[in-house]
Structure 1
Amino acid sequence: MTKISFFIAATLTAIAPVQADVYKSINKDGVVEYSDQPREGAEKIKVKNPQSIVLPKPGDVFTSNTSDTTEPQAPYQSIVINQPANDSAFNSGNGQVSISSETTPALMPQHSIQLVMDGTTYDSNKSGSFGLSNVDRGTHQLQVNVIDGDGKVLISSDITTFTIHRPQAPRKTPRAN
């Protein structure tokens, strides 16, 4: 029974409000100031049911720029496909498509740009310009990625959609026997 009484007393003591003294003063400009520190000419005031908050430690709120991270930040702000334009349509008898892209800032020497069309990964190069031939007629989707030396994608462009028109071989009219 004494253990329970001790526990109840300890709990009530722990949750009892902590009362601090509050002082009211008027500064030389006539502005009323409140403080928990007494000053010359300040009067002690009684505050009923004061509210208090516990502020988190700065280390719990702010992260340090010097902290080690396992994933380095990508050095690129953007990568865009300049050609062909999104939602464009064009004729190409041999199915040739020229693709050009651009990174901001410029591509770093240890990185390259990889072309993906319709979900299939094609070549990668340092220029960001690609030429495809014999592309089937129809609508296709392009995307370019900046990759590092290990093939890891650092940043990707938005998907660009284009439609290519190719002439079709004339159909022979069926003849009756």
Structure 2
Amino acid sequence: NGQIFEMSFTHGNADAPLKATGSYEQNKVAGTYEGRSGSEITFFPSSETFTMVEFDLGTLEHRLRELAFLNSGVRIVLTDARHADVVRHELHYDGGLEEFVKYLDRVKKPLIDKPIAIKAERDGITVEVAMWWNDSYHENVLAFTNNIPQRDGGTHLAGFRGALTRQITGYGDSSGLTKKEKVSLIGD
């Protein structure tokens, strides 16, 4: 609606109700992102709430970069103003998971020209997959559900691996490749 709203919290409780503090047009600054829609969050951890109030910038940047890739088009600006030399990272990726896979493999030699990327929606549920084979002997599989990392892969990954193995095995059997080459495939 063109308005800028502000709200602050202390220890998880609202200091005051949400209030309008201006409009986009009033606060627009040429050449910046000021005046665009979005959210700005400033976070000062309290030792009364957290046992650790010193956060690792690299860890925050890594997680926010993941979120920027997983939410294609979102712009996340991470600013660390704890020291005299302020550090600012702008994370913005329009390519989604396909661009994420390219980023993860940026120092590896790909075995195919571009990542395989699939996005589908059914019954209000969106599934997105991107994969790219490279010359490494180590796999790097990342699974997320609603932007939350599934470190052990979970049932989503197990189901995907099973389906992919069935499809490739089916193709190999129907084309005669597995018999001709005397190979069998497993879903590892």
TM range (shorter): under 0.3
More helix by share: 2
Q: Which has the higher contact order (CA 8 A, sep 6+)?
A: 1
With the length of structure 2 as denominator, give the TM-score of the two structures. 0.19
Q: Larger radius of gyration, structure 1 or 2?
A: 1
